[in-house]
Amino acid sequence: MSSPTSRTWFITGCSSGLGRAIAEAALLAGDNVQATARKREDLELLEHLGAGRCQGHLLDVTDAAQARRVLREAAENAGRIDVLVNNAGYGLVGAVEECTDDLVRQNFETNFFGTLNVIQAALPILRGQKSGHLITISAAAAVANYAGFGIYGAAKAAVEALHESLRAELLPHGLKVTLVQPGPFRTDFIRRSLVRAPAMPEYAGSAGKFANYLSQVDGKQPGDPERAAELIVKMVQEGQSPLRLPLGRYITQKIRATATARLRELETWEQAACGVDFPS
């Protein structure tokens, strides 16, 4: 049974991993979930778990018309959408030169344009309500990138830049915006959601090494999706909305190291950089 104070979540990519864990945590907290997946059977367990508080929708985020229709149906069914979670995404491993045009565009089609499709479909609803929390799953590759993750990191970095604007644009409309930055999490991501571009021997020591590293850490990632989902639900329950919510020790250390290195580089170049302005 949902209570009068329960929220409605709309979550993409609920077939597994973080999306499923967030849906389960929201249901456990007594909230309602409009869950999406690409295959019907992936929604059945969640609907069963939700006991009337979870409704499934088929959605491939690359289909903008489908996103508009599903968001409209979800809002009509639930009466409102309080929390939108853009979780659907997949990785592309390969040196920039190894990644074919098709692979690059497909990855952006899901990770960037898919996220944008869902946001643009949801905004008229959220703005109309004058409240709502837009949460999008980013990645460590958007904080500082590795050899072999250029395209995936670029798509996630584009998502991050988009959200910085969204936060400024949506604040006057009463809407909150948060980027969730997971480090390595023990989901199906490496096994199922990682495409490998055709390898070139020239990149064996960089992108190839990274691809090998990923296959070795599969199943041993430190991040626990259930604990991550609990923190996301807690953040929403407490009315908190940081622009960025890092998840896991790995990424907190990475953010600190990246910020420190950027500051050092700025200090090295600051005087020369300021010297290119017109004299005042």
Ligand X SMILES: NC(=O)c1ccc[n+]([C@@H]2O[C@H](COP(=O)([O-])OP(=O)(O)OC[C@H]3O[C@@H](n4cnc5c(N)ncnc54)[C@H](OP(=O)(O)O)[C@@H]3O)[C@@H](O)[C@H]2O)c1
Nearer residue to ligand X within complex by CB, 35 or 236 = 35
Q: Which residues pair with 55 in a beta bridge?
A: 34
> Which one of the listed residues 39, 146, 152, 209 is annotated catalytic?
152
Q: Which residues pair with 247 in a beta bridge?
A: 182
Site for ligand X in 58-87 (CB under 6 A): 59-62, 87
Q: Which of 138, 213, 215, 234 is catalytic?
A: 138
Q: Is 156 a catalytic residue?
A: yes
Q: Work out whether 192 is an interface residue with ligand X (CB under 6 A).
A: yes
Task: Return the range that interacts with ligand X (CB under 6 A); candidates 65-73, 95-103, 179-187, 238-246.
Answer: 179-187
Smallest separation, CB 179 to ligand X (Å) = 11
- Is 146 designated active site? no
At its nearest, how many Å lie between ligand X and the CB of residue 250?
9
Does 246 help bind ligand X (rule: CB under 6 A)?
no
* Least CB distance to ligand X at residue 100 (A): 18
Q: Is position 6 an interface residue for ligand X (rule: CB under 6 A)?
A: no
Among positions 184, 203, 208, 235, the unique one binding ligand X when judged by CB under 6 A: 184
Q: How far apart, in whole angstroms, are the C-alpha atoms of residue 20 and residue 192? A: 15
Catalytic-role residue among 39, 130, 131, 156: 156
Q: Which residue among 55, 107, 117, 187 contacts ligand X (CB under 6 A)?
A: 187
- Give the residue, chosen from 29, 64, 69, 90, that forms a contact with ligand X under the rule CB under 6 A: 90
Q: CB nearer to ligand X: give 159 or 170.
A: 159
If the CB atoms of residues 143 and 170 are measured against ligand X, the closer one turns out to be 143
In whole angstroms, the minimum distance from the beta carbon of 117 to ligand X comes to: 9
> C-alpha angle with apex 34: 57 to 44, nearest 5 degrees?
55
Task: Spell out, one character per residue from 107 to 126, where the chain touches ligand X: x when CB under 6 A holds, - when not.
Answer: ---x---x------------
- The alpha carbon dihedral of 85, 90, 95, 101 has a sign of negative
Q: How many residues does the chain have?
A: 280
Q: Tokens at residue 102, please?
A: 């098709």
Return residues touching ligand X (CB under 6 A): 12-13, 15-19, 37-39, 59-62, 87-90, 110, 114, 137, 139-140, 182, 184-185, 187-189, 192-193, 221
Residues with active-site annotation: 138, 152, 156
